[in-house]
């Protein structure tokens, strides 16, 4: 395991706006062809900072670079111009992800997405099958389930309590109200109800690891089952007992170990 990890932050230019990104690299990494880095896709209220120490630990354990970024409208990235479009999941993969890869000079990658970030990571794996070497989804949704809607409705009510919006502002600044609305109003809207992961991801052709908490308040076990069925290559579905929607925070050792094993098999 690398003794230390270096960090570098970088701004990624998009047409008219900038994205914030950060890379964790194993100290002393050498070789003309380093192993593909792990790219992290955050959840609906997430950002780089909310991954906390997980990217560093992932980098240390796997010996790979780990790259995270704030989607447009989130964290330190620029504000999103208007409402989040209904097709935002595929839009992220088509419009912004290639700019992130180009900004860091990445040719091959491993996609790791949490919650809606899992759907984005899967979409990137489907759209870019050659450079995507492996896919990991964590607590990802495959369709709009009543359980998902009920969980979001409950969270929306909780954010009306004193101090809750201020907590969100710590990470998103004055964009916090937009971030909350982008999550709740999109997923609760009638126009988003027909969405399914299968509509944009017909198959996943790289090695797939599906992680899901048995007690996830935003999605039943139907979601990992449907995601796993998309695999045409090696796949593993790991259900974590006594775990809710954020396994990498609730059971970090189990997640780190599973990801490490998943990436060790092919030894890119």
Which segments in the chain show pLDDT lower than 70?
1-3, 29-33, 265-268
Query: CA angle, corner 92, sides to 91 and 96, nearest 5?
Result: 110
CA–CA dist 128, 9 (Å, integer)? 25
Mean pLDDT (the chain) is 95
**Largest Cα–Cα distance of the chain, in whole Å?**
53
Residue-level pLDDT at 33: 66
Sketch the domain layout of the chain as residue ranges: 5-264
Task: Read off the pTM.
Answer: 0.96
Q: For residue 31, what pLDDT is reported?
A: 55
The two three-digit tokens of residue 99, written as one number? 């700019």
- CATH number for domain 5-264, candidates 3.40.50.1820, 3.40.630.30, 3.90.1200.10, 1.10.3720.10: 3.40.50.1820
DSSP helix/strand/coil, 24: strand
Residue 159 Cα distances to 74, 99, 104, angstroms: 17, 33, 36
Q: Containing H/E element for 210?
A: strand 208-213
The pLDDT assigned to 2 comes to: 47
Could you tell me which residues are beta bridge partners of residue 18? 13
DSSP string for residues in 48-87: TGGGTTHHHHHHHHH-S-EEEEPPTTSTTSPPPSSSPPTT
What distance in Å separates the CA atoms of residue 17 and residue 12, rounded to the nearest whole number? 9
Supply 115's token pair.
Answer: 């919650």
Q: What is the pLDDT of residues 171-187, one digit of tens each?
A: 999 999 999 999 999 99
């Amino acid at each position: 395991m690398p003794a230390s990890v270096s960090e570098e932050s970088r701004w990624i230019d998009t047409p008219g706006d900038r994205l914030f990104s950060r890379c964790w690299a194993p100290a002393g990494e050498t070789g003309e062809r380093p192993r593909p880095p792990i790219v992290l896709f955050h959840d609906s209220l997430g950002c780089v900072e909310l991954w906390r120490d997980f990217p560093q630990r992932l980098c240390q354990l796997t010996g790979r670079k780990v790259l995270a970024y704030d989607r447009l409208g989130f964290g330190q990235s620029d504000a999103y111009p208007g409402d989040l479009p209904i097709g935002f999941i595929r839009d992220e993969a088509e419009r912004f992800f290639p700019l992130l890869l180009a900004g860091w000079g990445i040719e091959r990658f491993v996609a790791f997405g949490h919650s809606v970030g899992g759907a984005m990571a899967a979409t990137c794996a489907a759209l870019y099958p050659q450079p995507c070497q492996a896919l990991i989804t964590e607590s990802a949704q495959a369709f709009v389930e009543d359980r998902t809607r009920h969980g979001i409705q409950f969270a929306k009510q909780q954010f009306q309590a004193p101090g809750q919006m201020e907590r969100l502002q710590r990470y998103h600044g004055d964009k916090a109200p937009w971030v909350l609305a982008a999550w709740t109003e999109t997923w609760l809207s009638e126009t988003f109800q027909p969405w399914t992961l299968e509509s944009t991801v017909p198959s996943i052709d790289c090695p797939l690891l599906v992680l899901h908490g048995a007690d996830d308040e935003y999605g039943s076990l139907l979601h990992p089952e449907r995601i796993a069925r998309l695999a045409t290559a090696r796949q593993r579905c790991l259900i974590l007992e006594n775990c809710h929607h954020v396994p990498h925070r609730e059971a970090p050792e189990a997640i780190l170990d599973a990801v490490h094993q998943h990436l060790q098999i092919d030894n890119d």
